[in-house]
Amino acid sequence: MKLITRKNIISIVCISFTLIVMGKLIWEKITGFTDANYTENIFICFGFSVMITIILAIHYYLQKFPFIPVCIGQYLVVIGLVCLGIWIMGHFSEIAPTAYRDMILSVTILFVFCAIVYYILFFRQIRRTNEMIDSLNSQSR
């Protein structure tokens, strides 16, 4: 069952990006933090939204493998790409000493939230499909 398709990927990215930015703004308002690199961080949030949505969409092709290893593998791919991105950015600009820790924490929170939503919807769809199959089987008897 494919939940993220070519038809809805843009809307899913937009919704997740909006939620991320709203969470970021609310957190900054609560803590009184002002972001000196606001524009760059917004684009990074958008990049993470796209990356996580695409990596979660790959689950459709990995359904023949056990769920837990697939979920962990998706997370490791996301973290690997984040670390690679920080490493590349470090060659062009100065990064904070805690950049890796901060980004891994930020992306982990985002990934866990997105994965929970995705997999709840996925398993709910499987349950509906199984119920439909059961009702068709019971009608055919």
C-alpha distances in Å from residue 31, one per residue of 19, 28, 40, 101: 18, 5, 20, 19
Check: CB of residue 53 under 8 Å from CB of residue 12. yes
User: What is the domain range of residue 76?
Assistant: 9-140
pLDDT tens column, 31-49: 887 777 777 778 888 888 8
Confidence class of residue 12 from pLDDT cuts 50, 70 and 90? Answer: confident
Confidence class of residue 17 from pLDDT cuts 50, 70 and 90? Answer: confident
Tell me, yes or no, whether 16 lies in a domain: yes
Tell me, yes or no, whether 68 lies in a domain: yes
Q: Is pLDDT of 14 > 80?
A: yes
Residue type, 46: F
Tell me, yes or no, whether 74 lies in a domain: yes
pLDDT of residue 4: 79
Count of domains in the chain?
A: 1
Phi, psi (degrees; rounded to nearest 5) at 133: -65, -40
Tell me, yes or no, whether 3 lies in a domain: no
Cα of 34 vs its chain's centroid, Å: 25
Q: What is the mean pLDDT of the chain?
A: 85
pLDDT tens column, 53-103: 888 888 888 888 988 898 899 999 999 998 998 899 889 888 888 888 888
Tell me the mean pLDDT in the region 105-122. Answer: 85
Tell me, yes or no, whether 76 lies in a domain: yes
Q: At what angle do helices 9-31 and 38-57 cross, to 10 degrees?
A: 140
Confidence class of residue 1 from pLDDT cuts 50, 70 and 90? Answer: low
- Model confidence, pTM: 0.74
Tell me, yes or no, whether 1 lies in a domain: no
pLDDT of residue 29: 84
Tell me, yes or no, whether 4 lies in a domain: no
